[in-house]
Structure 1
Amino acid sequence: MHAAVPVLEVSNLCHRARNGDVLIDDISFAVPRGGILAIAGPNGAGKSTLLRLISGLGELAPGQVRLNGRDLSTLRPRDRAKDIAFVGQLESPDGRLRLEDYVALGRLPLRGELPEQDHRDAVADALRATQMERFRDAPMGRLSGGERQRAHIARAIAQNPKLLFLDEPTNHLDPDAKGKILSLIVGLGITVVLIVHELALIPQFASQVAVLEQTRLRAFGPAPEVLTPDLIRDVFGVDLIRVQHPSEPRTLSVVDIPISRNASHLN
């Protein structure tokens, strides 16, 4: 019996800036169907560059990215748009745009190929999946930060992608909104690759984690195995502490971030 082809395969991927600086250095990994891969790393490690390269939004680079066994560089833009959805950090739709109309933009790659009712059903399903139905007629400018992030994800999943990329989807959200967004992502049932900074949350939702350090892949694998206290201390300079939840049969991960009252350490 043949092993299933990973949805995403990255092999020996490299990338340099125009001035020759190395931005991504020989990175390889694979993500199975339905997997959730969290990309983590210090600032400047290459996370956003990697996400854009493997989603097909960046420049062509040495190495190979395969989607369902097909070389991503050989796919036509329209075909790539059908299979891949991307939600960036700086999504800023016109605030006057109705939510339903904004979510319908995710159907553009499929226009002309399916009946209009199919498009309407897909938009309705996306609003339902993100629990945004009651805001259907609301202008985008009136939504809260967490609601807008749900709207961005709704637009992406209306596209019915095989692979969803998210660049820091919990950025600038309060703790409750972060938990709801990550719960939403887990419940989508599709393959997801996302950048996330909340190290303590990663084992709760991600099936795999890729830790980048200075443009290279420092570690890759199941989140609980990769995110060890030693690795966290070495790569991020903070301590990871695991404690028993006081009322539930599970372990909590706590990142201890020391705060100094002595400003001299900044000099």
Structure 2
Amino acid sequence: MQLPSTLSGVKPAGLRVESVSWGGAVRGSPDEPIISDISFTVLPGEMLAIVGPNGAGKSSLLRCLYRYHRPDAGRITIDGEDIWQMKPQAVARRIATVLQEPATDFGLTVAEIVELGLTPHQGRMNRHEAYAAIGDALQLMALEHLAPRNFASLSGGEKQRVMIARALLQKPDILILDEPTNHLDIRHQLEVLALLSRLPATVIVSLHDLALASAHADAVLVMARGRQVQYGPALDVLTPHAIRETFSVEAVIDAHPATGRPRFSFHLDQTISGRP
């Protein structure tokens, strides 16, 4: 999938996370934050994959990155500017999100949901340019035939593709996606990750599939129990030892015979299978 000109023109931003913690009050104790002391830097145009077991704090971290949760400690900056010192509309123009939670559709069609991606750019695009961009976003995600359908009538995978199309229409400098391959069939998983890795934007994505993370991301952040375990290039971070310690499974990593990319095979070790 190639990005059409109507959806290009973004200026990828650098994102820096400095000693961020959040959620102590939610758990009931300031000493037990949901995420704690997270620090990393994503360079403009890079793709970061965040991986970890369920409950690791991946979604909570993403909510801090797109200015939904204000950190209890630390700071998050875009090109050196603290996101909490920026106006909400300025953040909305620079950051787009695709979330796990089903979107509220209010009876809208697929085309109308995608069109919402233009909201931060109102007054910056004429009607002809807007229609062309909407059409290109629908085509890019293979949604043209679904344009008049009610969003609520779609399958989970179709809804996910609609939300990605809406985010692309926003033309963000930073695109944040929480488990974007959930509900997608194998072909669409591969196509979506390939597209994300080629976007001119800075991309931050949480994933369960370590093979997809390794194949497409420039860097991987491994989380467990709200803490940062490792951060760095996928081949340095996703080792059998790190996978065993983080996910409580044994891993065998070899080269895929067709692509040469890392291939992960997992099995339970009875000595660690009872871990929480």
Question: Is the structural similarity TM-score above 0.5?
Answer: yes
1:132 and 2:139 equivalent? no
**Aligned to 1:127, what secondary structure does the other structure show?**
helix
Corresponding residue for residue 181 of structure 2: 170
Measure, in 2, the Cα distance between the counterparts of 1:38 and 1:187.
Answer: 14
1:75 to 54, 62, 86: 86
Measure, in 1, the Cα distance between the counterparts of 2:85 and 2:155.
Answer: 39
1:90 to 85, 101, 104: 101
Q: TM-score, normalised by structure 2?
A: 0.85
- Any residues of structure 2 matched to 1:1-267 within 5 Å, and which? 7-18=14-25, 19-20=28-29, 21-94=32-105, 96-246=107-257, 248=258, 250-258=260-268
**Aligned residue-pair number:** 259
8 Å CA contact 2:157, 2:182 repeated in 1: no
8 Å CA contact 1:242, 1:251 repeated in 2: no
**Aligned to 1:118, what secondary structure does the other structure show?**
helix
TM-superposed deviation, 1:11: 0.7
> Can you give the 5+ residue segments of structure 1 that lack an aligned partner in the other structure?
none
**Identity across matched positions, percent:** 36
Q: TM-score, normalised by structure 1?
A: 0.88
TM-superposed deviation, 1:121: 2.8
TM-superposed deviation, 1:204: 0.9
**Aligned to 1:48, what secondary structure does the other structure show?**
helix
**Aligned to 2:91, what secondary structure does the other structure show?**
helix
Moved more, 123-132 or 20-29: 123-132
Deviations 1:132-160 (A, max 9, x none): 23322232234333222111000111111
**Aligned to 1:218, what secondary structure does the other structure show?**
strand
> Can you give the 5+ residue segments of structure 2 that lack an aligned partner in the other structure?
1-11
Moved more, 151-160 or 20-29: 20-29
RMSD: 2.4
Deviations 1:5-26 (A, max 9, x none): 9611111111133212211211
